[in-house]
Amino acid sequence: MTLWRHELRLLLRQRPSALALLLLALLTTAALATGMAEVARQRAAIAAIPAAQAEDIGAVADYVGRTKDAGSAAYYSFHPTWDAPAPLAFAALGMRDVAPYMLRVRALGLEAQIYDGDTFNPEVALPGRFDFAFVLVFLAPLFVIALFHDLQSGEREAGRQRTLDALPRGGAALWRRRTALRLALLWAALALPFAVTALAEGVTPGVVLLVSGVILAYLLFWIALAALVGRLRWSSVANAATLAAAWLVLVLIVPTLGHVAINRAIPVAQGAEIALAQREAVNHAWDIPRAVTMRRFYATHPRWSDAPPLGTAFHYKWYLAFHQNGDDAVAARSRGYRAALERRDRAGRAFGWLLPSVGVQALLTRLARTDLSAQLAYQDRIRAFHARLRSFYYGYVFYDRPFGTADFARAPRFDNHAGG
């Protein structure tokens, strides 16, 4: 233990090394605080949903209660959905930073509602928000370089290496001690603040241990790279320049080129194009005979085919039918879009097996449930909920059943943990 304490004192006496460790701990703490603040903001927004929903529905119910018109209830009523953040979301915000985690839907065409404003492919977004994943993946390697680029070359340049190699418990044992000490301090600067925050946020101990292991493995990769460069016996300046170039290539350039290659190999149209196509199909329904619309609707949704026929006046059953037809018209495109996104995601995760920076980021977002899979699962819950909404309102609209104030309480409620 005396040797370890001696090495620790020597390290902390080196002001650049001590400042580097302190700075890493501060950056880690700041990133965790930023992530917690963002997650708290999202949770507060979700918690405010019931009050806002009650106010909105109250206004609609006041009107519908007088008219008893189920079509008006279906048209004017917005129903909230939300994707509550997982306990680990503060550490890797992932797609929660670029994709909606709340969406209010009506019993009209869903595709336009889901994809409205989707003008990007967020599954290939690069660094993103300053969070713990950003500090670990992008910044931690720089601190490894700062502490390890001159581990042996600095002693050699100062003329002390032969003396250190000749000392009892010197040589290889000395370098192992110094490497282990620096590794432990770097790991502590990252893992200890994370563990305290994660446990406070309700993350299970098993996940905390897993992420701590990921931190250790990622640091070991960069330490091994620094040791490999050190074996070339270059100067400290050359070692630092070489490792900085490796960081630039492995953390920024290669991931960017890899994502570009994946994008080109697996082209994906914008979700906004699906929304536009759905709206065009809906708008076209105003220009064709209503009987054509209803035949098309009943052919794909025979459950409602025994409804009374349309009269000459406007009826919401026709309006809801052509919205459903609009969704059906783009269903294949929507499935293709999703399949392409999933292929890209699989390709990106496979790329992560080759490149630690990509793999660590992908693993953290998967554990935090902030990756593409989590976003698509949220969309699945929206779709399941929307199907229940449509079925509920269709039962009133298609059979001309009056819809009173009390019926609003019978409308389906979204469940974030179930299929709608």
What pLDDT, on the 0 to 100 scale, is given for residue 124?
41
What pLDDT, on the 0 to 100 scale, is given for residue 165?
58
The pLDDT tens digits of the residues spanning 363-420 come to 999 999 999 999 999 999 999 999 999 999 999 999 999 999 999 999 999 987 765 5
Q: How many angstroms separate the Cα of 37 from the Cα of each of 33, 40, 83, 330?
A: 6, 5, 17, 39
3-state secondary structure the chain: CHHHHHHHHHHHHCHHHHHHHHHHHHHHHHHHHHHHHHHHHHHHHHHCHHHHHHHHHHHHHHHHHHHCCHHHHHHHCCEEEECCCCHHHHCCCHHHHCCCCEEEECCCCHHHHHHCCCCCCHHHCCCCCCCHHHHHHHHHHHHHHHHHCCCCHHHHHCCCHHHHHHCCCCCHHHHHHHHHHHHHHHHHHHHHHHHHHHHHCCCCHHHHHHHHHHHHHHHHHHHHHHHHHHCCCCCHHHHHHHHHHHHHHHHHHHHHHHHHHHHHHCCCCCHHHHHHHHHHHHHHHHHCCHHHHHHHHHHHCHHHCCCCCCCCCCCHHHHHHHHHHHHHHCHHHHHHHHHHHHHHHHHHHHHHHHCHHHHHHHHHHHHCCCCHHHHHHHHHHHHHHHHHHHHHHHHHHCCCCCCCHHHHHHCCCCCCCCCC
Are 181 and 224 in contact by the 8 Å Cβ rule? The answer is no
What pLDDT, on the 0 to 100 scale, is given for residue 123?
43
What pLDDT, on the 0 to 100 scale, is given for residue 122?
43
Averages of pLDDT over runs of 10 residues in the chain (420 residues) are: 73 85 96 96 96 94 91 96 96 91 95 74 54 96 93 63 59 77 95 97 97 98 95 89 96 94 91 92 93 95 93 93 96 94 95 95 96 95 96 96 94 79
What pLDDT, on the 0 to 100 scale, is given for residue 419?
53
What pLDDT, on the 0 to 100 scale, is given for residue 170?
59
pTM of the model: 0.90
Q: How many angstroms separate the Cα of 178 from the Cα of each of 56, 116, 147, 216?
A: 64, 55, 10, 16
What pLDDT, on the 0 to 100 scale, is given for residue 125?
46
For the record, the structure tokens of 8 come out as 């620790």
